[in-house]
Structure 1
Amino acid sequence: MTVEIKVPDLPESVADATVGDWHKAVGETIKAGELLVDIETDKIVLEVPAPEDGVVAEILVERGATVHAKALLGRLTPLPQAGKLTPHAAAPQEEALHDKSDVLTPSVRRLLAEEGVSADGIQGTGPGGRITREDIQHHLEGQPEPTSAPLAPDEPEMPAPPVAGGVRDERRVPMTRLRKRIAERLLEAKNATAMLTTFNEVNMQPIMALRKQYQDRFEKRHGIKLGFMSFFVKAVTEALKRYPEVNASLDGDDIVYHNYFDISIAVSTERGLVTPVLRDCDQLSLAEIEKAIKALADKARDGKLTLDDLNGGNFTITNGGVFGSLMSTPIINPPQSAILGMHKIQDRPMAVDGQVVILPMMYLAVSYDHRLIDGRESVGFLVTIKEFLEDPARLLLDI
């Protein structure tokens, strides 16, 4: 008797999915709830666990195949009840059931597969002994370089043949569903909107001084560090209140004005860029914003985001500065009408009261749909953000 492994119900807006990595091979033992296979949609990765303890009997659909909801993926042979196992049979099965893979996140599993190494022998430093990406990097750095076998005494050493121009090779891999979806949405934004970008610059010295003054007390009280993103979310939220056109969207010939403030935060992951949504930002404190952003970023990098995390959003903030970008033109995230691009903070000479002063400056960029937002609103919106950031007390006083 075998147990069927099927594709779970797909979200309403998802027609099909792609089979990802199988984490167990045929003949391997798996315990109930342990991850068996990943199912990748254009939005999220669904994890298919084993329904009960057993041995993988058959894999019917290989990695990369397209499947629909309830499609048969493979079969599992259930294990006998623990009380019926002989002492000799119980030992190896118990050992298999405690395989390290039950504490590996999807991103860690992918890195192990890419590097061609096993989790055995890697000491996990994460919570509960979880192996992290840094643990894998330290393990790889500590491995000795492979050495060639010594030549026999009577075997002369032959010179290596010369290679002209070095090794030239190529590697072709299919695009992931998420990457395809990103490409489609970027083309949609370029082709279906009248997109323009306006720029400004902001002096980050006031916020940097505020963080330095209160960082320790903030972290001690709230259990999280005070970053720049919470200030930007607050500044954007207040600016959206003053410029409702930027918080609106087009639906055919209608303009939909939103009286709530859900902001998408762009997060870079191994699978591509995702934009989980931070909801009701006008009701959140700086500490609550920091905690919510960290939680969403962790879920994104571990492949744990749900459709609810990704659906909606009226405005997007993206930070290319973490990668060193000094200036860029961000692309609108449809059906939204605008997006704010943050960039690298860089010391530059600035004129202040007739004197040249070195200040930490950041370029800001707002891309917007000119069909809905005019230049006056877009520029005013960006200047409002700049004013809030250069005088953070205004965020508290609502002026």
Structure 2
Amino acid sequence: MAWGDPTVVSSEGTACSGAADPTACLAKLAELRPADGIFPDLDGYPHRATQVVYTRHDEVGAVTSAQELATFLKPITDAKTAGFLVRENGYDISCGGDERNARPSGDGFDIIGQIGGGCGRRDRTEDLLHVSKDGQITVLSSTVVERADPNCSPGRRPEGFAMAGASVDASPLGRFFAEAAELEAASVPAFLRLAEELAHHGAPADLVLHACDAARDEIRHTAMMTSLARRFGAEPSTPVVPPRPVRSLFDIALENAVEGCVHETHAALYATHQARHAADRRIRKVMKRIAEDETRHGALAWSVAAWIESLLSDEERARIDQARSDAVTTLMNGTAEPHPDVVRIAGAPSAAQASRLLHAVAGELWAA
């Protein structure tokens, strides 16, 4: 069940069956509000937390962690229970569901599941898992089915930046926000360099000023994302961005076409979706502010493009158009299914939603 607005996700059997006082048992069940869940409430900010609640005769209780769930379910004697445990540990079940996927093996079941993938540091793998009778999950083999691409993450990345990423031991939400914080931090020197280079080449003063303002925005975004990452148990890595000499107008325009016109526009789109769909109130508030800023950053990128590209040759503009088109294609081919927590709690678009959003923007903006 999910508390906050209590919703029954699924149920088995009859509540309070066999209780000496069924009425009292049902009343206790209705009043049960566990403080924690398999996806727990943290730092006092409420979001949907998943629990398994149960009755055993007159006993009413709740399971509030993945470890407790394994203990509660054992012995694992059927494929449906084995599949449920695997899913609650973050896997997507492959090959048509639990019963068709799982097969008895040794003291339990073997199941194929997929985990990871999308923007970030972790590959998406298809794992052969063994679920023992006592609820222990062991990875028997693992095959990479989709390489993770840190470069598909929204936002402006500076030249020479290599993403370190969050610890693989962090929760899915922790990793998501830690990697977002690292990308936001990397955007600070990216905008400072842009401002310096624009000034060097005699760009209009308002473009230089807006690039400096964007760097300040990214400092604030870094603090917001760091706070969310720590809330979900992860510590962001500090980006290392080596200093670079001032580039030519063409090289600036080439980077701006990809990192600004495509990635900053994508970041604004992504943040707007989160601001509207995150189940967590605090995340919605944070992403609303970030979406407003990223929309301005995207507009800045197009303004920079208009100024610089007017000074370039036809051949150079054609190369920039091709780079922008290639970046859009990379984004559209890089959509993968985020972890369910990231979709539900953080409001990230699912793979299908991301694809629809990208195609809509490609038709209205990037094709122009």
Same fold (TM over 0.5): no
TM interval, short-chain normalised: under 0.3
Max radius of gyration: which structure? Answer: 1
More strand by share: 1
- Higher RCO, 1 or 2 (CA under 8 Å, sep at least 6)? 1
Structure having the higher helix fraction is 2
